[in-house]
Amino acid sequence: MTAARPLWTAEEIAAATDGTANAEFAATGITFDSREVGKGDLFVALTGQETDGHRFLGGAYEYGAAGALVCVPTSYPSVFVDDTMPALEALGRAARARADAVVIGVTGSVGKTGTKEALAACLARAHPGRVHWSVKSYNNHTGVPLSLARMPADTRFGVFEMGMNHAGEMTALAQMVRPHIAVVTAIAPAHTAFFSGEEAIADAKGEIFTGLQPGGTAIVPFDSPHRDRLIAAARPHAGRIVTFGSGAGADVRAIETMPVASGGTFVSARVHDRDLSFTLSQPGAHWVSNAMAVLAAVDAAGSDLGLAGLALGDMAGLPGRGARFAARVAGGEALVIDESYNANPSSMRATLAVLGAEKGRRLAVLGGMRELGDDSDRYHAGLSRPIDEAGLSHVILVGDEMAALAEVLEGRMDFVHVPDAAAARDRLMAVLAPGDAVLVKGSNGIGLSAVVAALRDRHGAGVAD
């Protein structure tokens, strides 16, 4: 049996980064987080304002690191460079250059992580072991080069999530990823503290098209009010522009949808001139839209649409982004919908609608939405309507940002406004009852993942049907 090729050798790392190796070694993985180092990994010792990765070299080697990328001389097996951050970027570019893969970039204000995961699952269903994708939400100036550097040379399809919160950032990532297919999932109010409006957000997301390879495909949301703006951004760079959505005229379109007993959605779709029916495991209209973007990308990549439909039916929810579990409470179980990783006005509305479709008493733990700038109070107060439409029995509002919503809800429904995640956890534990469905959602900085963890750890959990 032939041994698997290492991800990187010391010689290859040195050549890619213009560095100097002090020993021969072969790395099977790569990380810049010393807590994630596994046997055979390359540890990239990044330097920053808060910490210096070189402090953790000893621990990295204790955990089994094969070598390190350093800018401080060390006796450990390593490659020495002038600066480890540009060296990581160079390693990412080298990985991109050596792989004869179809590369897909995914961005958007909402849905990009779920769409990336769904797309990877669909491609892997048809091409097992040949698909590489960015893990977690590694989508920024450090996460993207790391994800690229982790791509094996024999990868057939690479799927990379790309995010930004300032104009110009996406251009740098797009030039690094150089996708053959670029997907924009949706445009919505997010990071508005750094932009003049949604048009500016659309322009910043549209920068992904600047990295498209010759003849590449741009995939844009047909139903978005910014569709034409995105198409205009794509036109100078794309060989082909494909639209997705539910409106008549979309190239990839959900023709008919119907909720199913399992909580998902039965979808009849048209992909250009082909019809496809499948059951989407994830509930909600936003996931139908995500699925259309996925099918458009699968088709553009030349992969199997039928197998993609099967994969969409098997997808489980992501932790912090729609995962569901049954938490034990006194006398029975309650359904928990974990959306604790992030929040903006659009995703709040979408997930509240999903909660509203659940049976029994419906509760929500809603944390503040960050980086909304001067319009923050207006966006928070605007959540009152989707809360009303969801028919919630009790709402726990968390954080200072939620004061505007608390003012609107006063006297209209049963709610409490608490300062932090710990107080939210205690309140929820006091009111949660068997048969309840509870949504936990807020910006990551609010820390509502601790509420979810308490539901798992204190009560135990089983997978919800």
383 and 237, same domain (yes or no)? no
How far the first Cα of the chain sits from its last, in Å, is 42
Sign of CA dihedral 135, 3, 27, 19: negative
Domain that includes residue 64, residue range: 8-86
333 and 309, same domain (yes or no)? no
Of 86, 112, 134, the residue at which a domain comes to its end is 86
59 and 136, same domain (yes or no)? no
Strand partners, 78: 68
φ, ψ of residue 329 in degrees (nearest 5) = -125, 170
The pair of three-digit structure tokens given for residue 99, joined into one six-digit string: 């792989």
User: Could you tell me if residue 327 is inside a domain?
Assistant: yes
How many distinct structural domains can be found in the chain? Answer: 3
**Residue type present at position 96:** R
Q: Contacts by 389-393 with C-beta closer than 8 Å and gap 24+? A: 389/352, 389/353, 389/356, 390/352, 390/353, 390/355, 390/356, 390/362, 390/364, 391/356, 391/362, 392/352, 392/355, 392/356, 392/362, 392/363, 392/364, 393/361, 393/362, 393/363
User: Could you tell me if residue 279 is inside a domain?
Assistant: yes
**Residue type present at position 377:** D
User: Could you tell me if residue 56 is inside a domain?
Assistant: yes
Residue 459's pLDDT is: 46
User: Could you tell me if residue 369 is inside a domain?
Assistant: yes
DSSP 270: E
Of 314, 337, 371, the residue at which a domain comes to its end is 314
Tokens 């659940």 belong to residue: 358
How far from chain centre, in Å, is Cα 57?
Answer: 30
Q: What is the CATH classification number for the domain harbouring 275? A: 3.40.1190.10
Residue 263's pLDDT is: 80
Q: What is the CATH classification number for the domain harbouring 386? A: 3.90.190.20
174 and 294, same domain (yes or no)? yes
233 and 351, same domain (yes or no)? no
DSSP 327: E
397 and 258, same domain (yes or no)? no
Q: What is the pLDDT tens value at each position of the chain, 465 positions in all? A: 345 689 999 999 999 999 999 999 999 999 999 999 999 999 999 998 778 999 999 999 999 999 999 999 999 999 999 999 999 999 999 999 999 999 999 999 888 999 999 999 999 999 999 999 998 778 888 999 999 999 999 999 999 999 887 888 999 999 999 999 999 999 976 655 566 678 989 999 999 999 999 999 999 999 999 999 999 999 999 999 999 999 999 999 999 999 888 788 999 999 999 999 999 998 889 999 999 999 999 999 999 999 999 999 998 888 888 889 999 998 899 999 999 988 889 889 989 999 999 999 999 999 999 888 888 999 999 999 999 999 999 999 999 999 999 999 998 899 999 999 999 999 999 999 999 999 999 999 999 999 999 998 754 444 443
Residue 458's pLDDT is: 52
